[in-house]
Amino acid sequence: MDFHLTDDQRALRAGVHELLAGRFPRERLRAAVDAYEAADGGPVLDRALWRELADAGFFSLLLPEAEGGAGLGLPEAVLVLEEAGRALLPGPLVAGVLLAGAVDGVAAGERVAGLCDAASAPALWEHPSDCDEVIVVAEHAAYRCAPDGLRTAPVRSVDPLTPLARLLDGPSGAPYAADVPRLRREAVLLTAAQQLGGAVKALEAAVAYAGQREQFGAPIGSFQAVKHLCAQMLVRVELARSAVYAASVTEDPAEVSGAKLLADEAAVRNARDCLQVHGGMGFTWEADVHLLLKRAWLRAESWQSAAAGEEALAAALADGHIAV
């Protein structure tokens, strides 16, 4: 047993971090927020950035090498999406990674595919104006739809970088042949990976601010009340990381549920505590903390809510389908 990252996995994570730091730095994040507000519900994805990500192999991660992909597995996809979450990178990334082999043009970044969970209520669809094709996933089946074939109502999204629309009808369109439980499980896991990255970012931002902001003649990070907030943020990150990484290796349904549950908690609680550490600054639009929190709230409702996760785990516990 060696649970640690291999050298290749470390290099992959560092490479993605570097790529995103260069292509999607804070200025670009804030510019995207401004652009979204100006667009008023229109497309927000930067297609040039999307193609750059594709060129770097972002969406062809899981594709076999024979199909032009990297032939990697879920552990690597988790590392990549963790970094995406840490950078607050917007867009239907999970759909891109999971549909690259099924929807033409997705692997190359030329077309954007969306995934919509029709089993949730309300059924929300991310980036409706950006998608060229959407796979609607019902409880046990999936359907392939053209974006203009879906009747939707506008929803003003909590997250300034993730526009939403609400599906008005049940799933329809051409059947999409897929192992639906697996597709759902992988969507849950990769969403959890993004939450893990968001939790890491919130911790980093809180620690940086606590080390620099002075009150009472000392950095506020020297006060135990602030230290303890930060320490608990790290505890949440490390617990969620262990759960998410392990679930990516075992793909065990209960373990995936637990990973999402703990990663959601880490992302939301850490963003809240990060906001608290930032004091009044944390309540401003100018600080990035609210973007972290709003993204965490959005992801927490995606694919598996806390209630659904806890019920799934309780059922697994009762049936003996969860082991330590």
By CB under 8 A, residue 277 contacts another protein = no
Q: State in angstroms the smallest separation of the CB of 8 from another protein.
A: 11
- Say whether residue 4 binds another protein (CB under 8 A): yes
Judged by CB under 8 A, which of 56, 70, 239, 287 binds another protein? Answer: 239
- By CB under 8 A, what part of segment 186-225 binds another protein? 203, 207, 210-211, 218-219, 221-224
Nearer to another protein among residue 17 and residue 127 (C-beta): 17
Enter the tokens of residue 297. 């709230």
Residue 324 engages another protein in binding (rule: CB under 8 A): yes
**Cβ closer to another protein: 31 or 249?**
249
20 binds another protein (CB under 8 A): no
Q: Residue 179, interface with another protein (CB under 8 A)? A: no
When binding is defined by CB under 8 A, the residue of 261, 289, 293, 298 that contacts another protein is 261
**Binding test (CB under 8 A) with another protein, winner from 227, 251, 269, 305:** 227
User: Minimum distance from CB of 97 to another protein (Å)?
Assistant: 18
What is the CA 91 to chain-centroid distance, rounded? 9
Positions of E strands within 149-232: 152-155, 164-167, 174-175, 214-215, 218-219
The sheet carrying 152-155 orders its strands as: 124-126, 164-167, 152-155
171, 138 contact by CB (below 8 A): yes
Helix (H, G, I), strand (E, B) or coil at 150: coil
Residue 19: strand, helix, or coil:
helix
Q: Residue 137's beta-bridge partner residues? A: 117, 142
Question: 134 has which bridge partners?
Answer: 114, 145
Element (H, E) at 240: helix 224-250
What does the block give as tokens for 260? 């999402």
Residue among 52 and 310 whose Cβ is closer to another protein: 310
Smallest distance, another protein to C-beta of residue 9, A: 7
Cβ partners under 8 Å of residue 267, min gap 6: 85, 195, 196, 198, 199, 202, 292, 295, 296, 299, 300
Contacts (CB under 8 A) with another protein, residues 29-68: none
Nearer to another protein, 115 or 207 (CB): 207
Say how many residues make up the chain.
324
Q: Which of 249, 276, 279, 281 binds another protein (CB under 8 A)?
A: 249
Decide if residue 312 touches another protein (CB under 8 A). Answer: yes
Tokens 């060229």: give the residue: 132
**7 contributes a contact to another protein by CB under 8 A:** no
Q: How far apart are CA 57 and CA 66, in angstroms?
A: 14
Query: What residue ranges bind another protein (CB under 8 A)?
Result: 1-6, 9, 75, 203, 207, 210-211, 218-219, 221-224, 226-228, 230-232, 234-235, 238-243, 245-246, 248-250, 254-255, 257-259, 261-262, 307, 309-318, 320, 322-324
